[in-house]
Each structure stands twice: as C-alpha cells, then as structure tokens.
Amino acid sequence: MGTDRTINLLMVDDEVKFLSTITERLKLKFFTISSATNGMEAIEAAEKGQFDVAVIDLQMPGINGVQLLETLKKSHKYLEVIILSGHATIQSAVDCTKLGAFKILEKPCDFDDLVNAIKEAYEIRLKKKFKDDAARIKKIQELSVFESPLGLLKALAKMDNTEK
Amino acid sequence: MHNDANDLLNKEGLKFFGKVNASISHELKNILAIISETAGLLSDLTELARHGKQIELSMLENCSSNIAEEIQRGFRTIKQMNRFAHSVDDFIKETDLLETLDLAIQLTGYLSFAITVQTDFQTKPEKPVLTCPFLLQNLLYQVLCFTYAAVGHNGHIHIRCSSQDNTGIYLVFSSTFEQAFSSFPTQGIQHTADVLGAKLNTDSKFAELDVWIPYTNPKFMTKEHKR
C-alpha cells in the first residue's frame, strides 16, 4: 500500500504496559500514534487530534469499549475502529459490528495481523472519504453553475467537511 | 441439614465458579499479551540492530524487566486461581475469614470496574468461621462487586472488622460517598447471606454497609463439630 503520509493511530487500552509496548512496536512500523488509557481520554484525544484509525480495548474502567466505539463513530464519520480485546464475546462482537467496528481482534493477537488490519482500515477510510469527496466536488460543480457567488459560498459552508 | 446451601451451590455455584475463572483467564490473556508484545519488540529491536541501528540499552532493560514483572504477575494470578479452586475441597470447613476476604479482593481486582480497596484489620476475628468456604467466598465476592459498582471508578472502598461479641464478626465496608449503598442488599446477596446465617445492614446515610458472619452456623455443625 503506498501512502504519502503515515497513518494516524489512536491506541486505547487500560493495560499501561501493553499500551506502551505495542505503541513502541507500531512506531517502528512508521505509524504516528497517540495513546489513551481510558475512554474519556480517548474521546478528548479524538476531539483534539485527527486520527485515521483507532484501536480500542473493550473492558476499561468508566466508559467501556463498546460505549467508546459508539461515541467515536458518532462524532468522527471516517474514523475506522478496530477492537483489540481479551474480553470479546460473541455478543460484544455482534454489538461492535453493528456499531461499525472495522475488525475485532483477540488479544494476544499476531502483530502482523494487527498491522495489516490497521492498513486495511486506513484504505477503507480513504475510499469512503474519496467517495464522499467526489460527490462533494460534483455538487460544487452543479452549484457553481446555478448559484450566485454568495449563494455558492453559503452552500459550500453547509457542505464543509468538518469531519475529522 | 445443608439443603439450602446445596441448592444454592447447585444453582449459583457453577455460575460463580465460571465467572471467576473467566476473569482469571482474561487476566492471564492480558499478561500473555504483554509478554508476547515485549518479546516482539525485542525481536524488532534485534532486527534493527542487525541493520546497524544503534539501540538504547534502556529499551532492552525495560523489555527484560517488563517480561520478568509479567511472569511474576502470572504466578500470582495462578496462585490465586489455585486458592480459589481449592475453596470447593470441603463443603463445610473452619475457614479463615480474612484470608477468604483477601482472596475475594484479589479475584474481584481483575474486573474492569474494580476500584481501590483499603483494608484495616486492627480488630481481627477471634477464631476461624465454621462455614461453607465456597459460599462465603461467593458472598464476599458479590458484596465487593456491589460496592465497586455502587461507588464508581472515582471512589474507593475501606474495609475493617468490628466485633461486639464472640458469636460473630462484622466486616464493615465504607464508601467515599453517601447514598452509595442505598440499594443494598441485592436479592442474590441476601439469599447467599441467609444460607450462611450472615446478616446484612447499612447505616442511615448508606455510606457504610456491614456483613455479620457467625463464627458457627448451627446448620453447618456436624456431630463431630458439636462434640
């Protein structure tokens, strides 16, 4: 997969040692990583930063992984989320899939599987964004024919892709 | 003589056993995941070194201490698993209450909603408790889970013993918040307590709850014990 920039990753896990070790390994694979040890931290990080993919644990104190997935997907349309957990059950897998999780991996998982899943999730994100961008460009072209400059600006403001 | 205890063991015992084993297996998974990733990091660093990259010694030291610490954590977890597994060896037994509580604290510590537990045992039980150790473990586990959920992850629990006479001992659970224990006891906790002859109370502000455990429950006394 050829990409001009590194993939921005948000890693969320309450197991601090696991988080720091896997973060080190992923950095060696040239990912740009921010980490959070709980759901609240993750939500704040996602608000401040711009992430392509989030990898989150399921069982965490406070906001759990399912709730975090739901919150992240609601506020960040193109963010792809991978669940990496030792606590996944069939029910939680069904719930996470319904909420839009890209993949569910069981801990401990093969590192290469995780790296591949992150890359695949990033590709999906790019495709979705590209599709929406193409639709947006088409709409702008249509508007530019029929709207006055002010009308066009207003329409563009409405269409502005503020999604992170 | 032990019919209600038997019924409870049959109905809830396996469920409890499974629940605790699931939480232990999750803990072991976490430990193995850390060891696995640390070993992977060591391998990555070795590969980089092979290609001439300078590797900081501190990174290698961190990896090595990570692995050593996680192995110790694994041993502690397996030891607790073993202690828990042996709690079903004897249906009725003279049981050390504080040891049982300690194990319950360790086992509930694996749950994601577990909070900090402080203990202060200046007052200690005068003697062992003649009871069903597995059900006692179950009762204390349930009470701890209740307190964790009631207090929430920003609080903590303080546990102490209190003794008023030689018929039993109180385990007092204090919360950081008033009203935290307003829904105590749950049906399951009450039922288990009833079978064990234990009594449950809360203070008027619902910030403290106590579990009174009898030293001897007549239901559990065999001829041998009565002698």
In this prediction, residue A162 carries a pLDDT of 52
Label each residue of B106-173 as H, E or C.
HHHCCCCCCCEEEEECCCCCCCCEEECHHHHHHHHHHHHHHHHHHHCCCCEEEEEEECCCCCEEEEEE
In this prediction, residue A159 carries a pLDDT of 63
In this model, does residue B219 exceed pLDDT 80? no
Put simply, whether B34 touches A (Cβ < 8 Å) is yes
State the average pLDDT over residues A127-153. Answer: 76
Which of B34, B77, B113 would you mutate first to test chain A, the one with the most A CBs within 10 A?
A: B34
Contact between B37 and A21 using a beta-carbon 8 Å cutoff: yes
Which of A14, A18, A26, A111 would you mutate first to test chain B, the one with the most B CBs within 10 A?
A: A18
**pLDDT confidence tier of residue A2, bands split at 50, 70 and 90:** very low
**% of chain A surpassing 70 pLDDT:** 90
Contact between B40 and A111 using a beta-carbon 8 Å cutoff: yes
Whether A33 and A53 have beta carbons less than 8 Å apart is answered as: no
**Partners of residue B83 on adjacent β-strands:** none
A18-39: b or e for each residue (b if 16 or more CB lie within 10 Å)? bbbbbbbbbeebebebbbbbbb
pLDDT in tens, B53-101: 999 999 999 999 999 999 999 999 999 999 999 988 998 999 999 999 9
Least confident residue range of A41-45, B2-6, B32-36, B101-105: B2-6
Amino acid at A2: G
Contact between A18 and B113 using a beta-carbon 8 Å cutoff: no
- In whole angstroms, what is the distance from residue B131 CA to residue B135 CA? 8
Put simply, whether B72 touches A (Cβ < 8 Å) is no
Whether B159 and B171 have beta carbons less than 8 Å apart is answered as: yes
pLDDT in tens, A71-101: 999 999 899 999 998 877 888 899 999 999 9
Query: Which residues of chain A lie closer than 8 angstroms to B48, CB-CB?
Result: 28
Higher-confidence residue of B223 and A45: namely A45
Contact between A59 and B26 using a beta-carbon 8 Å cutoff: yes
State the average pLDDT over residues A104-132. Answer: 92
Please spell the DSSP secondary structure of B167-226, one letter per residue.
TEEEEEEEESSTTTTTTPSPHHHHHHHHHHT-EEEE-TTSSEEEEEEESB-GGG--HHHH
**% of chain B surpassing 90 pLDDT:** 76
Put simply, whether B106 touches A (Cβ < 8 Å) is no
In this prediction, residue B226 carries a pLDDT of 60
Put simply, whether A95 touches B (Cβ < 8 Å) is no
Label each residue of A131-156 as H, E or C.
HHHHHHHHHHHHHHHHCCHHHHHHHH
Residues 6+ apart with CB under 8 A from B204: none
| Global confidence as pTM | 0.83
- In whole angstroms, what is the distance from residue A38 CA to residue A63 CA? 7
State the average pLDDT over residues B18-42. Answer: 94
In this model, does residue B1 exceed pLDDT 50? no
Residue A37 tokens, joined: 């040890």
- In whole angstroms, what is the distance from residue B208 CA to residue B175 CA? 6
State the average pLDDT over residues B26-40. Answer: 95
Q: How far is A86 from chain B (nearest CA, A)?
A: 6
**pLDDT confidence tier of residue B154, bands split at 50, 70 and 90:** confident
Whether B167 and B195 have beta carbons less than 8 Å apart is answered as: no
In this model, does residue A164 exceed pLDDT 60? no
> Which of B26, B34, B114 has the CB atom closest to A17's CB atom?
B34
Higher-confidence residue of A146 and B128: namely B128
In this prediction, residue B208 carries a pLDDT of 93
